[in-house]
Amino acid sequence: MQSSSRPSDRQTAIFVSVAVGIIVAVVTTATFYWVYDLALGQERAAATVVSQAPWSSSDGIKVITSSAPNVPTDGRQPWLGTDAWVQGVQAGQTWVQNNPNPVNVQVLTGMDSAQIWAYMQQYVAGALGVSCQYCHDINNFSLDTYAQKTTARNMMYLATDLNANFILQLPNWRGNYVQCATCHNSKPNNLEGFAPQFVKSVPPIHVTVDPLDSNGEAITDPALKPAAIQGQVKLQDAILYYIYNYQVWKPYDAADPESGRGSLALTYKGGRSQDQVTINQNVMNNNSWSLGVGCNYCHNSRNFTAYETQPANNVTNQLYAYNKLKAQQMLLMTSWIQANWTTYGAIAKPAIPTALEGGASSFSYQQLNGQYYNVPGCYTCHQGYNNADGISVPRAAMNQSSFVDKGDAGQVIFPQALRGGQ
């Protein structure tokens, strides 16, 4: 008796069950995706496109003209609303016509009044999202009537110094500069220095901070530590300490595999404490959230301490060694900014503003010389943005390929004085 090649009823039932299960799974998945797309998908996709688009000065000008008029209480005229924008533009044009040569211009030297006006209108007003009246007495633009004008001038000096001392010194520099909009993104003040994930998720625990000395040895004696970390501190405060007090104790040398070590190094004789590992991990989390990247953007996942500039072919990110050195340079920059912030004219506050008044988390404020200042952090510029190539460059950085010195209209897109000597 020959056996039949036809499937048994049991086999048929299994086959049908599997087929039906696959169909149900596909239909269910498609249905959920369809519902998601209707509810959130299209909105999030559109938001992604917007967030990845390069910053445009017209975006900031729209912020001004679409805002309701404000009512200043310090003697300044309104700087928000369409009327304020038009009034400021008309006053500026009249000033340039009557004063073709600069008057009381201390930073943007080498430019005539028309060029300065074009830059201020597009790349300063637009960068801060405010009209001329925010800084200027528009009856006489040369006067230093308001503290905001002095502060803006000092911020230009700051941009020059950041470009000269840090940005132009980046390894594998790609031609990007700091401009006003890089930090401000069309907001005049109360800038957020830390990613939302950091603000919400850092564990509320206490840790002991053991910083490294100039030889890379852990300082465990409380009496030898800076006053702010002599006792146990909140983890959040320990993270802030490293972001604003970073130092390199063994500069990178391609010939020395043990070089490139800074404040967050975990490799040294005897290893680090568990608290220091916890602090390190949360600082790195903040960096990842701020830049919108994972560990492999900077690190070789097989050797986190490595700085190879010619990694093996199986390493996904061929630039990770450069990116790690860039991150180190950026931590040095945030530390330098904090140490010099009062010098650059930032306007102090007697206390940390409430969430309703401020617009930035308490983490963004540092107490300096007895007063509170809104100090930039990694997130201030980067805001989790990656460009189309997956490179974490701030959306509002000024790239050298996008500006000209003097075009047909004589307009200076990014003044030489702000480029740090390049």
278 class by beta-carbon count within 10 Å (0-12 exposed, 13-18 middle, 19+ buried): middle
Instruction: Say if residue 319's pLDDT is above 80.
Output: no
pLDDT of residue 49 exceeding 80, the answer is no
**Residue-wise pLDDT tens digits, 66-92:** 999 999 999 999 999 999 999 999 999
Burial of 135 (0-12, 13-18, 19+ CB in 10 A): buried
Model confidence, pTM: 0.83
Local structure of 241: helix, strand or coil: helix
pLDDT at 113 over 50: yes
Residue-level pLDDT at 387: 72
Hey, what amino acid is at 261?
R
Confidence of residue 263 (pLDDT cuts 50, 70, 90): very high
Greater confidence (17 vs 376) lies with 376
For 259, residues 6+ apart whose C-beta sits below 8 A from its C-beta are 250, 251, 252, 253, 307
pLDDT higher than 90, residue 160 = yes
pLDDT score at 345: 83
Is the distance from CB of 307 to CB of 299 less than 8 angstroms?
no
How much is the pLDDT for 237?
Answer: 94
Contacts of 214 (CB under 8 A, 6+ apart): 249
Residue by residue, DSSP assigns 147-214 as: HHHHHHHHHHHHHHHHIIIIITTSTT--SEE--HHHHHTT-SS----S-HHHHHHS---EE----B-T
Question: Residue 122: is its pLDDT beyond 90?
Answer: no
In this structure, how many other beta carbons lie within 10 angstroms of the beta carbon of residue 90? 12
* Least trusted range by pLDDT, from 151-155, 363-367, 398-402: 398-402
Run of H or E including 34: helix 9-36
Cross-strand bridge partners of residue 253: 256
**With contact defined as beta carbons under 8 Å apart, do 170 and 359 qualify?**
no
Q: What is the pLDDT of residue 346?
A: 86
Q: Which two tokens stand for residue 231?
A: 């006792």
Mean pLDDT of 351-365: 82
Least confident of 142-151, 165-174, 311-320, 382-391: 311-320
Split at pLDDT 50, 70, 90, the class of 15 is confident
CA dihedral 234, 293, 297, 253 (to 10 degrees): -40
CA 174 to chain centre: 17
- The letter for the amino acid at 290 is S
Q: Where are the domains of the chain?
A: 57-182+400-418, 191-395
Q: For all residues of the chain together, what is the average pLDDT?
A: 86
Contact 157, 316 (CB under 8 A): no
